[in-house]
Every structure is written in C-alpha cells, then in structure tokens.
Amino acid sequence: MLEIKGLKVKLEEEDKQILKGVDLRVEAGKVHAIMGPNGSGKSTLSYVLSGKSGYEVTDGSATLEGEDLLDMEPEERAAAGLFLAFQYPVEIPGVGNMTFLRTAVNSQRKARGEEEMSATDFLKEIRAKAKDLKIDAEMLKRPVNVGFSGGEKKRNEVLQMAMLEPKMCILDETDSGLDVDAMKLVAEGVNALRSEGRGFLVITHYQRLLDHIKPDVVHIMANGRIVKTGGPELALEVENNGYADILAEVA
Amino acid sequence: MNAVLKAKQEAAATRLDGADVPSGAGWSQAAREDALSRVRNMGLPSRRDEYWKYTRPDTLTSAEAGEAAVFETGEEPVFGSFDRLKIVFVDGVFSAEKSDDLALEGIEISRLAEAGDISWASELYGTLEANGQTPVERPLAALNTALATDGVLIRVLNTPSKPVSLIYHHENTRSDAVLHHVVKVEAGASFTLLENGPAAARFNKVLEADIADKAAFHHVRAQGRDHERRAVTHMFARLGTESTFKSFTLTVNGVLTRNECIIELTGDDAFAHVAGAALGDGDFLHDDTVFVTHDAVNCESRQVFKKVLRNGATGVFQGKILVKPGAQKTDGYQKSQSLLLDGDSQFLAKPELEIYADDVACSHGSTSGAIDEDALFYLQARGIPKDIATDFMTLAFLAEAVEEIEDEALAAEINGRLEGWLTRRRG
C-alpha cells in the first residue's frame, strides 16, 4: 500500500535536515503506529507525504500502490487515496462544512474519472455517518471547524475520512487535546473504517490511543529515522519505560 | 487664489463650455444653475486633491468619454428572476419600450426629464448633493446635478409589493451617461431599489435618498461587467429618526469605478449599513469613498468593504466617520479588507475617525493580505484542486460583505453570480 524508501527531507527555508532516511512499508488492511519523542520528525513525515509546502525531499521515494506520491499535488494525492487527519484541523470561516465536504468528495471522484455524487445521495450518506460520530446537523452547517471544540474538530476529521473513503489514512496525533470519552468516540470511528483494503499509519506520543486503535506494527522514530520496529508490545514498553531505554539500546 | 484651484476652475469652465444644460421644470432649472455655480467655484477634481490621491480623475472629468467595448456576458441578467418593476436606460436614455409602466401601488414614480411641478422633488433635487459638498468637495456630483439628462424621482408613501429595478444597458461604445435619481421614503414605509448594468462607456450617477422617520431603504447594486467602462457614482442619504439604510454594491470588472457614499444620520436611533464586494482582475481600479456623519443620538453605522485583487488590480478605500458634538451613544464601525491573490495587486486604504462626542464606540479595521496557506493546504489535502480552493477562500472572504444584504434571496442571487463568475474564470 504505502511504501517509503530512504526518505530524506529538509526544510526549504533553512538548511535543516528533518528526515534522515525513513524506510517504512504499510500493507493494506494493517494498522501501523509511529511513536517517538518530540522533534523526531513524525509530523514532518505526515506533511511530506500529503504534500505540504515548505519541505524539500533530498532523497528517497514514497509511493502509494506503486504511484509516486512525491510528484503529485496535494489534491492528486488525496484523489489517489491518501488521507491525513490533521493534528490541528484548520478553521476556515466562510466555507460551509457541507459545501466543503461535498466539493472534496466530488473533486476526488472527478479526478478519478468516477461519477459525481448527487446532492441527495451525499446528504443521505453524510447524515448517517455524522450520526455515528455524534455530529449534529448544526455542526454540519457551520463553517469548517469554526467554533468547534478540540473533540469536535477531531470527529470532523474522522467524518471526512469516512466520507472520502481513502485507501491509506495517516492520523497525526489524533489523540492530542482529547479527553478519554472523546478519544473513544474518535477511535470507534476509525475502527469502523478498518478494512482489508485500507492501511493506517497512526502517529502518536502515547500508548493510550493504541489501546483503542490496536496496531499490528509499532515503529519508534527518533532523530529523523525509524529506529525500532516491533509488535504492539513495543508501545507498552514505551509506556512503561519511556523512550530513553529504546534510544540507548539502538544508539 | 492659489494656482491649483485656478487650474481646477479653468478645467471646469472648459468642461462646461461645451456642455448642454438640459431644460426641464422650473425648479430643476434653478437647481441646475446652483449646481453649475458650485462646479465653477470648486473646479473639477485634479490629481493633486487629497481626495483623489489614489484615483486619477482625468478620464472622469474629460469632455469626451473614452471608448469602452460592449461585453456580451451570455448570461441571464442579474435579478432576472425577481419580481420587480423594471425601468430601463440604454446608454443613459430611458427606454419606454423595455421598461414596465411606471406605476406601482404605494409609490409615485416620475422621470426627471418629464417632471412637472413636483414639490417634494424640487425640495430634494441637488439639496442632499449640495449638503454633501462640505466638509469634502465632490465636484463630479455637482456636475451631475447640473447636467443630468434623466433619472427617476420616486416617492414611497407605503411599502410597495416589489422592488424597483433600474437597469442600465450599454450599447454605444462612446456613450457618456449622466443620470440623477431622487428617492424619498416617507415615514414608516419600506422600499427596495435594485440597480444593475454597465450603463455606458462612461457613467456619472447620483442618487439622493431621503429616508424619513421609521422608514427603511434597501439598496442592492451590481455594477456592469464591461471591462473598459468607467463610472463615478455618488449616493447621498439622509436618515431620520429610527430609520434604516442598507446598501450593498457588487463590482466585477470595469477599468475605473469610483463609488462615493455620503450618509448623514440626522435622527436619533437610526441605522446605516453600507457594504461592497469587489472582484478585480488586471486593468481595474475600484475606489470606495465613504463619509458617514453622525449628528444624532444612539445611531449605528457600519461600513464593510471587501476587495479581491489580482493581476495588477488596484483597490482604494477612503472611509470616514464623523461624530458631531452631541452625537452620543454613537456606534460606528468601519472595515476595509483586501485579499491580494498575487504580488502585483495593491490596496490603498485611508480610514479616518473624527469624533467630537465623548460617549461613543467607534472603530475601524483595515487589512490587506494573501490567501491563508494553511487553509488552502487543508482544502487541497481533501482533494479540492488549488484553483477551486482559492475560489472557495475568495467567496468566504467576500461573504461578510454579501451578508450585509438583508433579503436572503437577493444575497443568494449575488452569491450565485460570484460563484458563477469565478467558476467560468477558472475555465
């Protein structure tokens, strides 16, 4: 599904190497988690994969089902099936949530040469999916993320994911700013989307989220590289002992 | 006399030498004579005037109008689906054939060119314009009062069942239209005036609106999209106690547009909102010049002007709130913002507050900025192509001005136009 090889990335504006050769492969149907201390490059990886400007890829590759992601515009990556759930979803005053989402769904369909979704079908589907995530009609009507609480923003991210049905989902610290109940709700939404054909890359600081979204594989990232890969037990090790032991072990 | 004023007066004399002063009812003759002497005294605006610092007036003051091609939009006219009384001018000339009968229950409509002895109009024509000449001179408005060939005189006695819609066609590439409308909304009545169309190669228009106690005046205007057209418009409004004035203008295209709005709140508890949305591309200069005078207690005024500019387009905003002594509890607000889609475009803003009362709340905010990159990326990351995402942000930016239109159907009409034009521009 997602294949990253020797990815090296620096900031465009300054001569600072953030990713120093990342190798990662997420198979369809699997949930991979990336954990790591602050500043290890986790969020940068998610931004580079989704095409945010300000980064320069100096070496390596990233492909989604064999297609070169790094060569595409952000919207082309989305249409190809990549989805990033933002750590800080952006507020966009003046753009209605519904209009935004319908345009997104239909832009992707158009880009893939598929038929656009009718207004009626869209409405039916979004209502059903919003209900599962406890997003009320009033929230759908509001401008994108404006006045949403932290939990509402993250639920809105999951709703977008559910509507766009991506192949590969990257969740960037989706647990940040959430209380336990909100996290459960978000995790349930994500779990409902787990399927044979879909891959997940869950970026998180804490084991907490992984109690709810159970990973198949856990990677530890430090200083711009994946330094250790293991099963779910690796997340528990981090929870119990912190990163220091692991980092000392691989150093 | 200083040399600058002398030159301006000479320019006025030259301009008026070749001009025909239309004949008409006796009262209008007197008003025109007064206006002529105002123009001769003030002279025509020149580039050195503080008030014309950002906008060159020469193409508006020249004897001949510059050429302007007629733009075939190929789309339904704005407000086309609305039930309204249509009054059509072609290159500034009234068209009886294209217009509806000038009859609507609750209101009296006459044409300036055919006006008989209408006492209410004789008291107003040129009066609000003359009042509006201080403290800032507006010679092109006085020129209009003197030279206007036609216009409508509307007196609203009772709230009519539908709006009056002034439609301005442009057919002649060298036409030079001068129209002057007067609207009087009597106590307690409510009236909506719509205006749309390019009008002429060059258009000088004045609208004087007297809004009596507890009356309401709503005005929605879509200026014509002919790329080469030029327009200078003045709107003078006088508001009585507990009256409402709401005006919105949409401007897309046009090489030069100067819209002046002069509002005087003379009765307590009155409410005046003036808003504008402009979308400029390339050879485009759009100037909103607003002067709001608070001369009564507990009045609210609000100015909301938004401009989206690209490819070298220029936006100008000169807005002033004057709070006179005794105008306590004034709530004055002024917002002028531009969204610059590239580095070639510019926005020049001069917000001013002048306050002589001590219990007032007045504020202004003027900003100029590029599109929010984070928001753009967020939209793109969801699969929305960059150009569509940019248009989304553009509409969102303009929304605050469009929302100033009270009537939801009219607001939707304006929004629909904007959306349509942006979509077609993307190609």
* Average pLDDT over every residue of A152-174: 94
In a domain, B234, yes or no: yes
| Chain A interface mutation, best of B304, B339, B382, highest count of A Cβ atoms under 10 Å | B382
Which residues, other chains included, contact A62 with Cβ-Cβ below 8 Å and sequence gap of 6+?
A2, A3, A4, A5, A7, A48, A49, A68, A69, A70
Whole-number Cα distances in Å, A144 to A141, A167, B56, B387: 9, 23, 41, 18
**The two three-digit tokens of residue A223, written as one number:** 């200083």
Q: How confident is the model at residue A242 (pLDDT cuts 50, 70, 90)?
A: confident
In a domain, B103, yes or no: yes
Q: What letters, b where the CB count within 10 A reaches 16 and e where it falls short, cover B320-333?
A: bbbbbeebbbbebb
* Average pLDDT over every residue of B318-333: 97
A74 contacts on B by Cβ (under 8 Å): 377, 380-381
Query: Please, what is the angle between helix B3-17 and helix B139-147, to 10°?
Result: 20
Q: How confident is the model at residue B23 (pLDDT cuts 50, 70, 90)?
A: confident
* Average pLDDT over every residue of A17-22: 94
* Average pLDDT over every residue of A69-79: 96
Q: What is the pLDDT of residue A93?
A: 86
Whether A239 has a pLDDT exceeding 80, the answer reads: yes
Q: What is the pLDDT of residue B1?
A: 63
Question: What span, in angstroms and rounded, lies between the C-alpha atoms of A225 and A19?
Answer: 6
Angstroms from B73 CA to nearest CA on chain A? 26
Residue B9's H or E segment, with its range, is helix B3-17
Contact B383 A111 (CB under 8 A): yes
Question: Nearest by CB to B381, which of A50, A101, A144?
Answer: A50
pLDDT tens, A117-128? 999 999 999 999
The pLDDT mean for chain B works out to 95
Angstroms from B295 CA to nearest CA on chain A? 35
Contact B381 A103 (CB under 8 A): no
**The two three-digit tokens of residue B62, written as one number:** 């020249």
Question: What span, in angstroms and rounded, lies between the C-alpha atoms of A182 and B394?
Answer: 34
* CB neighbour class for A247 (10 Å; exposed up to 12, middle 13-18, buried from 19): middle
Residue B41's H or E segment, with its range, is helix B26-42
* Average pLDDT over every residue of B170-186: 97
Whether A181 has a pLDDT exceeding 90, the answer reads: no
Contact A78 B378 (CB under 8 A): no
pLDDT > 90 in chain A, percent: 71
B335 contacts on A by Cβ (under 8 Å): none
Whether B322 has a pLDDT exceeding 80, the answer reads: yes
Whether B298 has a pLDDT exceeding 80, the answer reads: yes
- The parent domain of residue B94 ranges over 3-371
pLDDT tens, A124-146? 999 999 998 888 888 898 999 99
Q: How confident is the model at residue A229 (pLDDT cuts 50, 70, 90)?
A: very high
* Average pLDDT over every residue of B233-262: 97
Contact A94 B379 (CB under 8 A): no
pLDDT tens, B122-162? 999 999 999 999 999 999 999 999 999 999 999 999 999 99
Contact A75 B377 (CB under 8 A): no
Strand partners, A170: A84, A201
In a domain, B412, yes or no: no
In a domain, B19, yes or no: yes
Q: What is the pLDDT of residue A44?
A: 94
B399 contacts on A by Cβ (under 8 Å): 94
Contact A75 B393 (CB under 8 A): no
In a domain, B390, yes or no: no
Q: How confident is the model at residue B10 (pLDDT cuts 50, 70, 90)?
A: very high
Contact B382 A86 (CB under 8 A): no
Whether B386 has a pLDDT exceeding 80, the answer reads: yes
pLDDT > 90 in chain B, percent: 90
pLDDT tens, A87-121? 999 999 888 899 999 999 999 999 999 999 999 99
Question: Nearest by CB to B386, which of A73, A93, A143?
Answer: A73
Using left for φ > 0, alpha for ψ between -120 and 50, and beta otherwise, residue A94 falls in: left
Q: What is the pLDDT of residue A238?
A: 85
**The two three-digit tokens of residue B136, written as one number:** 């800032």
pLDDT tens, B69-84? 999 888 889 999 999 9
pLDDT > 70 in chain B, percent: 100
Q: What is the pLDDT of residue B404?
A: 96
Question: Nearest by CB to B381, which of A74, A91, A105?
Answer: A74
Whether A48 has a pLDDT exceeding 70, the answer reads: yes
Output the CA torsion sign for A46, A50, A51, A53.
Answer: negative
Searching chain B, which residue's CA lies closest to the CA of residue A76? B383
B400 contacts on A by Cβ (under 8 Å): 94
In a domain, B99, yes or no: yes
ipTM, 2 dp:
0.96
Whether B25 has a pLDDT exceeding 80, the answer reads: no
Q: How many domains does chain B have?
A: 1
| Chain B interface mutation, best of A12, A69, A92, A146, highest count of B Cβ atoms under 10 Å | A92
In a domain, B417, yes or no: no
Q: Which amino acid is at A35?
A: M
The pLDDT mean for chain A works out to 92
Contact A92 B379 (CB under 8 A): yes
In a domain, B404, yes or no: no
Whether A230 has a pLDDT exceeding 80, the answer reads: yes
* Average pLDDT over every residue of B237-250: 98
Q: Which amino acid is at A188?
A: E
Q: Which amino acid is at B119?
A: S
Q: What is the pLDDT of residue B115?
A: 84
Q: How confident is the model at residue B116 (pLDDT cuts 50, 70, 90)?
A: confident
* Average pLDDT over every residue of B307-332: 97
Q: How confident is the model at residue A251 (pLDDT cuts 50, 70, 90)?
A: low
Searching chain B, which residue's CA lies closest to the CA of residue A52? B377
Residues B292 and B323 sit within 8 Å (Cβ to Cβ): no
The answer to whether residue A55 neighbours chain B at the CB level (below 8 Å) is no
Q: How many CB atoms lie within 10 A of CB B27?
A: 18
Strand partners, A202: A33, A171
- Helix H, strand E, coil C: the string for chain A is CEEEEEEEEEECCCCCEEEEEEEEEECCCCEEEEECCCCCCHHHHHHHHHCCCCEEEEEEEEEECCEEHHHCCHHHHHHHCEEEECCCCCCEEEEEHHHHHHHHHHHHHHHCCCCCCCHHHHHHHHHHHHHHCCCCHHHHHCEECCCCCHHHHHHHHHHHHHHHCCCEEEEECCCCCCCHHHHHHHHHHHHHHCCCCCEEEEEECCHHHHHHCCCCEEEEEECCEEEEEECCHHHHHHHHHCCHHHHHHHC
Domains with residue ranges and CATH for chain A: 2-250 (3.40.50.300)
Searching chain A, which residue's CA lies closest to the CA of residue B402? A94
Q: What is the pLDDT of residue B235?
A: 98
Question: Nearest by CB to A164, which of B374, B382, B400?
Answer: B382
* Average pLDDT over every residue of A52-73: 95
Q: What is the pLDDT of residue B411?
A: 95
